[in-house]
């Protein structure tokens, strides 16, 4: 799928501005979630964002181990093939109105950022969280549902904590 331009707003809990279960490219768009994470990418799929403004406002929910703005994960629901998820964002802004920025769990993932302005919420606990989860939502088996993550930053300012657990790995590359 290819989207060029426009302004898109998703309202309500569990309604991200972009939910990725395919290979998607979006350019020059404003993408806002008023009551959810900005973007979910599940399984063996990819998203490429060029000069987009991506905003999320996920509420703190008891069924979640943490609160995030962008998630790459495998839910095990059957609507996405298991495999490496890929997130690429060049230019534009990524705004978190609540919680951390990037979260990956129960999958392999690659994040690439180039010249993106990241605006973190005041309560942001992390820039990147690469960990297993409690399985409250059925995402893998607790104790073996970590994430393997590669995070690439090119011409990029980054601020915040990077968190990973013993089930996960998170190599960082910056240039």
Structure tokens at 161: 């904590």
pLDDT band at 76 (very low <50, low <70, confident <90, very high): low
Strand order in the sheet with 117-119: 7-10, 30-33, 53-56, 93-96, 117-119
| Weakest mean pLDDT among 36-45, 140-149, 165-174 | 165-174
Write down the pLDDT at residue 96.
98
**Mean pLDDT, all residues of the chain:** 91
Confidence class for position 75, pLDDT limits 50, 70, 90 = confident
Residue 41's DSSP bridge partners are 20, 72
> Residue 81: pLDDT above 90?
no
Percent of the chain with pLDDT over 70: 95
What integer pLDDT is reported at residue 52 of this predicted model?
98
Domain residue ranges of the chain, discontinuous segments joined by +:
2-174
Segment 34-59 shows an average pLDDT of 96
Alpha-carbon torsion angle 42, 68, 132, 161, nearest 10: 130
For the stretch 117-133, pLDDT in tens is: 999 999 899 999 999 88
Helix then strand then coil, % of the chain, to nearest 5: 0, 45, 55
What are the pLDDT digits (tens) for 5-23? 999 999 999 999 999 999 9
> Residue 104 above 90 pLDDT?
yes
């Amino acid at each position: 799928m290819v989207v060029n331009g426009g302004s898109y707003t998703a309202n309500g809990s569990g309604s991200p501005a972009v939910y990725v279960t395919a290979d998607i490219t979006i350019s020059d768009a404003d993408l806002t979630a008023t009551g959810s994470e900005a973007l979910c990418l599940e399984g063996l799929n990819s998203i490429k964002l060029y000069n987009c403004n991506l905003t999320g406002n996920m509420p703190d929910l008891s069924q979640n181990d943490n609160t995030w703005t962008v998630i790459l994960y495998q839910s095990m629901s059957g609507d996405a093939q298991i495999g490496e998820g890929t997130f690429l964002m060049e230019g534009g802004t990524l705004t978190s109105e609540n919680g951390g920025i990037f979260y990956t769990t129960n999958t392999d993932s690659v994040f690439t950022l180039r010249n993106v302005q990241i605006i973190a919420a005041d309560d942001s606990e992390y820039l990147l969280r690469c960990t297993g989860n409690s399985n409250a939502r059925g995402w893998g088996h607790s104790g073996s549902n970590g994430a393997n993550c590669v995070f690439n930053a090119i011409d990029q300012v980054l601020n915040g904590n990077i968190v990973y657990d013993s089930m996960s790995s998170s190599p960082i590359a910056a240039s």
